[in-house]
Amino acid sequence: MPREADHTAYIAIGSNMDAPAENCIEAANSLNDHPAISISSRSSLYETEPFGKSDQDWFVNSVVEVTTRLSPEHLIEACLAIENEMGRSRDEKWGPRIIDLDILFYDDFVFKEKNLEIPHPGITERSFVLEPMNEIAPDFVHPKLKKNIETLLAEIPNPQQANRLSSDS
């Protein structure tokens, strides 16, 4: 298990309740305020159609690249703490949410446990993750599929609509 050194992770941020863009910015700032997490790059904000459950408001999504000394397990704990602080409730799979933070990648690490899988499953079907990730790390190679983000984005079978909102998150 990786520890005691700087690691690069990519975290997806999404919201479709209240003020989604502001929620995403607040979550990114909260990540950056953590003493063991530093944001090295932020994507623009994207307005994206819902995935998995279409009868809800569109989402605002972004991806941040972070440098951290936290293990994957402690990084997800930090993400969950931010979600809780922002009022996240888990009432319905793929349902509306005030904030959602998911670890997409952690270095080239492959890991699966009950509550954490890295790389995040389903990345290859989700343009709302790949669009913003492609903006900041198009050449990052998926450690299991051995394809870069730009290629994965081009290969999505049924892409969701993703419209760039801003680059000043």
Catalytic residues: 88, 97, 100, 102
The kind and range of the H/E element at 85 are helix 72-85
Q: Annotate 58-75 with b (16+ C-beta within 10 A) or e (fewer).
A: bbbbbbbbbebbbbbeeb
User: Beta strand 100-106 with 111-113: parallel, antiparallel or unpaired?
Assistant: unpaired
> How far apart, in whole angstroms, are the C-alpha atoms of residue 30 and residue 68?
14
User: Beta strand 45-48 with 59-68: parallel, antiparallel or unpaired?
Assistant: antiparallel
Task: Give the sign of the dihedral formed by CA 167, CA 77, CA 73, CA 129.
Answer: negative
